[in-house]
Amino acid sequence: MKNILTTLFFIGTLCAFAQENSISKASEFVITPEFMLGISAEANDFFPDRSLQKQLIIGFGREHHNNPQEWAYWLNAPKTAINFGLTDFGNSEEIGYAISAMPIIEFNIFKSKRLKILTGMGVSYFPIKYDPVENPFNQAITTDVSWSFRAGFNYEFIKTEKLDWRIGIGYYHHSNGHTKLPNQGLNSFLGSFSIDIKNPYHKPSAESTVERVIPEKSQYRFASLRFGLGNNVLSLAFNDQKPIYTIAGEYGKVINKTYKLGIGFYYRYYDHYYDYIKNNESLVQDGREFEDFRKNPWYNATALGITINGEFLLNHIGIDLQIGANVFKPAYKIDWRINEGWDNTPREIPEDWVLGEFTTKFKLKHIISSRMGIKYYMFGNNDVPTHNLFVAAHINSNLGQADFTEFSLGYVYSFKNK
């Protein structure tokens, strides 16, 4: 079910990006073929041998030099695109290939108009994946559909009226968002060669070219509330997906209708933690370390945290980043004990089993939470609607390690300046 929802959300996001890009006819259409070559890091011990990774991408996008919306000005006329890719990981039998779809955005950085930073987030389909019998040494990918993330730099070394020739470097990550284990993920480092092919029939006219008017600086306050439904697994011995329910709020300001900054809170309930405690599993049994958790299973299965949020608003689209701190998350100690000791911790854990130790790494992961994803707003933020609704998809993590995949529905109220 999670894979279906993830795919449907990103199909919707692709359509939303396409719709957003078609708002301004003055924005120039660009097709970008790209070839990438690099290496995939070992995901686990005895990971299958592989040759160089090869990736072919075709992107369909727009350059927003003449887009009249304010985000296009304040983000220095970025390029937005939908990339479709085919990746060969260098071992056709044990790792195979991936088919990807990814919305991306590319910015000019520093003062250079040739050096750009690119980032994107999408989904990938893997026909070959981990199997405990047939393919036990590929512990990178366990599900048919996974999240995919890309970040990197491109440099235009030749720039002409209709063709921009580019080279670049980048990082790629594939992971299922902790919805099935093992989930070591695939991390790749690649070089790229690409060409931006601009529409040969695009000839700006007085009607299609928007005068570059510098918008006035602005800011307004907002408050929002969202409800999230996520899912994850607890361990290899508890490898079925169970829900995580979230209520979260945020208050802050939007600067120039583009940069959204806020502080917030979240309350989460983890069904896996509750069931582990309620069902009297090994580590909460009499005489074991967490036996006191049984006095209040619901309380100990929850988490409470505070956050700092940042978001780029591209009218209907939001690119959302968050870092926070868990004020309260007691059952994560059980999670750590089970998953960070000996491999393949069984459901019935012997008392002499080596469990994960509460090191500095644990303390950091216990405290620091993060979140990254995409939102789609019902009403465009360029018009500053008083009331707005959004749907969103995010990966939540503990200091960069996937915690759960989440889909959200939210409401935003804007305090307009009078």
pLDDT, residue 296, reads 97
Task: Read off the pLDDT of residues 208-234 as tens digits, 9 standing for 90 and up.
Answer: 445 567 889 999 999 999 999 999 999
154/264 same-domain check: no
Count of domains forming the chain = 2
pLDDT, residue 204, reads 54
Last residue of a domain, one of 167, 198, 229: 198
pLDDT, residue 361, reads 94
CATH number of the domain to which 45 belongs: 2.40.160.20
Last residue of a domain, one of 198, 232, 254: 198
In a domain, 214, yes or no: no
278/410 same-domain check: yes
Nearest of 351, 230, 336 to residue 286 by alpha carbon: 351
147/230 same-domain check: no
188/72 same-domain check: yes
In a domain, 138, yes or no: yes
151/70 same-domain check: yes
- Predicted model pTM: 0.89
Residue with the two structure tokens 């026909």: 127
Side-chain half-sphere CA neighbours of 309 within 13 A:
28
Full domain range(s) for residue 230: 219-415
pLDDT, residue 201, reads 60
224/193 same-domain check: no
151/231 same-domain check: no
pLDDT, residue 213, reads 72
In a domain, 235, yes or no: yes
122/267 same-domain check: no
In a domain, 210, yes or no: no
Low-confidence ranges of the chain (pLDDT < 50): 1-2, 4, 8, 21-24, 206-209
pLDDT, residue 108, reads 85
In a domain, 411, yes or no: yes
260/364 same-domain check: yes
pLDDT, residue 356, reads 95
238/284 same-domain check: yes
pLDDT, residue 21, reads 44
Last residue of a domain, one of 143, 167, 198: 198
In a domain, 118, yes or no: yes
65/155 same-domain check: yes
pLDDT, residue 212, reads 62
146/27 same-domain check: yes
In a domain, 303, yes or no: yes
In a domain, 207, yes or no: no
